[in-house]
Amino acid sequence: MNALPPAAEAATSTFMLDGRSIPFTPGQTVMQAATAAGIYVPHLCHHADFEPVGSCKVCSMQLDTSTAPRMVTACTLPAREGLVLHSETPAVQHDRQRLVQMLFVEGQHHCPFCEKSGACHLQAVAYHVGMVDTHFVHATTPHTVDASHPDVWLDRSRCILCELCVRASRDVDGKNVFAIGGRGARTTLLVNSASGLLKDSTVAATDRALSFCPVGALMPKRQGFAVPIGARPYDHADIAERQADT
């Protein structure tokens, strides 16, 4: 009998996710293996084009261990034979909902009049985890809006500090326009220019960094309603049905 080819041999390794056996190949994370198996894991800072950073924690799952269960981030956890993970339990979903609610109260996320409504990952994840209110008292730290550039708009009050624009500007556009600075509630998105303004940076409306922003923080001007509400990706479909876009 002929031996299996290397790819097939590698795919025989599995872990358990919500009672389902998930095959993986060496080097894959739990998130990558789950996605390849057609399972959506809620996330905001993760994107398949970049190395994971695990900052938003929305993809956290419960990992069974020999001592006590603990929470792990699916985007950074290497897939290993024998892992037993739970992603859809009421407790895990409750934690995800609270994380998303905190993001809403820490920023200016007013979906009915946001240009990104219907195409916003934060909004779509909120729907997916069953968020119906913000639960917490709003505690928004004042952040500036930078409209200095003729073609690009930055509203820091909507930024969720996912670092996707930082990674995209560096790794895709080759410009290093953005960075994260500050501490605690004063952590903010910085612009790499002498003045700190977009107009003095090398950013352009065609930069991929803008398209990777999951919320309405960083957008090309005059394109906010180019696709009308009602015809946007998440207007009629749950984000789990469109996970290839995330």
CATH number at residue 123: 3.30.70.20
Q: Which residues pair with 154 in a beta bridge?
A: 146, 218
Total domains in the fold of the chain:
2
| Mean pLDDT per 10-residue interval, the chain, length 246 residues | 43 90 96 96 95 94 93 96 96 95 91 92 96 86 90 95 96 97 90 97 96 95 87 92 66
- pLDDT of res. 5: 41
One domain for residues 24 and 65: yes
- Residue 42 placed within a domain: yes
One domain for residues 216 and 109: yes
- Residue 170 placed within a domain: yes
Q: Report the C-alpha gap between 82 and 77 in whole angstroms.
A: 13
- pLDDT of res. 11: 54
One domain for residues 216 and 115: yes
- pLDDT of res. 245: 52
Backbone angles phi, psi at 91, to 5 degrees: -65, -45
* Domain stops at, among 41, 61, 88: 88
Backbone angles phi, psi at 153, to 5 degrees: -120, 135
Write the pLDDT tens digit of every residue in 38-80.
999 999 999 999 999 999 999 999 999 988 899 999 999 999 9
One domain for residues 56 and 113: no
One domain for residues 75 and 112: no
pTM: 0.89
- Residue 30 placed within a domain: yes
Structural domain containing residue 173 = 95-223
- Residue 239 placed within a domain: no
- pLDDT of res. 153: 95
- Residue 238 placed within a domain: no
Q: Report the C-alpha gap between 30 and 17 in whole angstroms.
A: 9
One domain for residues 119 and 184: yes
Q: Report the C-alpha gap between 112 and 207 in whole angstroms.
A: 27
- pLDDT of res. 10: 47
One domain for residues 104 and 199: yes
Question: Nearest Cα to 47, choosing from 187, 166, 216?
Answer: 166
